[in-house]
Amino acid sequence: MTFIPYPFVRLVLFLAVGITAYLYFPNGIPERVFVPAMMVLSCLLLTIFAFNRKWNRLVVNPGLLGASCTILLGYILTFYHTGSRNPDHFMHQPIQAQYYKIEIADAVVETNTTWKTKGRITAMRCNGEWLTVSGDVLLYFSRSDFPLPPVYGDVFLINKSPAAIESPGNPGEFNYQQFLSYQQIYHQYFLRQDNLTFVHHRPAHAIIQLSLHLRDWAERILKQHISGKAEQSVAIALVLGINDELDD
């Protein structure tokens, strides 16, 4: 196997290098450098291609320059897809909000004491006005207050601010804060009945809603035909990719 006949593999690998570089050095390249650097590298790359084409042979190998462009592209894409960099993120608003408008944006997982899911903050009410914002949060609904789980597309008004997810307190402890930050989640809610008001049910994406219904249906079928809690958890994890019920 040679490396040259697989351009897609090369592209993915160099993009991965750029993404990894951002994760470890998020402030390594200033934002103001992005456009000039990409323009310079792209112009040099086009010049090399034109030069080689004129002489009808490989006078200058563009491989290293192309790899540099792809790595930089991976870095830039990760920079702009990081939620905390978004100026519209609710965490950047200087005003304390009285209410947050949140929609359920993912499947709901049952834990021992809570319903766990991901929520998306779309607006916050400050000084009598609604501000359009963005940002995902982790939601925990107390099962003692909510016998039935929320579902994808439910929209709530929450009367308290989200809490920042804490960093690990012990050396060598799993960094759950960092793990969630890779999913653009930096805050969480622990909710009781008096913290929220149901507004309406309005799924943002019909395809996601359908896929979640199909996943729930498949999970019920597996549980009907497989006995044993542990066996069910393993089967659901292997077939559907739901690993929340697996033991640590």
Q: pLDDT by residue (tens digit) across 141-151? A: 999 999 999 99
The H-assigned helical ranges of 56-195 are 63-80, 176-181
Among the ranges given (68-72, 220-224, 242-246), the one the predictor scored with the smallest mean pLDDT: 242-246
Asked if residues 21 and 28 have their Cβ atoms less than 8 Å apart, the reply is yes
Burial of 217 (0-12, 13-18, 19+ CB in 10 A): exposed
Q: What is the pLDDT of residue 1?
A: 44
Q: Cα dihedral sign for 224, 238, 247, 152?
A: negative
The amino acid sitting at 57 is R
As a whole number of angstroms, the distance between CA 240 and CA 194 comes to 35
Q: Is the pTM of this model over 0.95?
A: no
Query: With 90 as the cut, is the pLDDT of residue 66 above it?
Result: no
